[in-house]
Amino acid sequence: MTCLSHDGGLIMLSNKNALANIAVKNLEISRKFYETILGLEVIGSVGEEVVVYRCGNAAMIVYQSQYAGTNKATSATWVVGEDMDVLVKELKSKGVQFEHYDMPNTTLKGDIHFDGDMKVAWFKDPDGNILNIINK
């Protein structure tokens, strides 16, 4: 995907950061989850309806919406590398319930799905938005 710059040259979006946008019904409840359970740091806000969190070198926007929780696909993914097993245990100790899916070519061990050397674990926020962590 490309856009034209003011001088007519092309601006490549592949060189620009993208942000995840997560719709929630109740921002107060969601803030407790994203800040206390996931440990995300607030880096900005817009009124009482939008919070921006730092996620590594990128950001995630959590905003109040009447359409919250209607997405049936993964909303955000964190690439966690070798910290996968430790993070699953830590999140579980904080009350996070992991989702188990019947997926081709994967094996479920505990709460982690394996596909070769790839590991992935899915969970939901209070509104049912699907989130996941992956080792690579």
Q: How far apart are CA 82 and CA 47, in angstroms?
A: 37
**pLDDT attached to residue 5:** 55
**pLDDT attached to residue 105:** 93
**pLDDT attached to residue 14:** 82
For tokens 């995907």, the residue is 1
**pLDDT attached to residue 35:** 98
Q: What would the two tokens of residue 136 be?
A: 């690579």
Q: Which residues contact 11 (CB under 8 A, 6 or more apart)?
A: 2, 3, 4, 5
Low-confidence residues of the chain, pLDDT below 70?
Answer: 1-9
In eight-state DSSP terms, residue 81 is G
Amino acid symbol at 79: V
Distances (CA, A) of 1 to 6, 10, 13, 14, 58: 17, 10, 6, 8, 20
Rg (CA), the chain: 17
Q: Give the predicted TM-score (pTM) of the model.
A: 0.87
**pLDDT attached to residue 13:** 83
**pLDDT attached to residue 1:** 45
Query: Minimal CA–CA distance to 20: which of 75, 71, 68?
Result: 75
Q: Which domains does the chain have, with CATH numbers?
A: 16-66+74-134 (3.10.180.10)
φ/ψ of residue 8, rounded to 5:
90, -10
Strands 74-79, 130-134: pairing kind: parallel
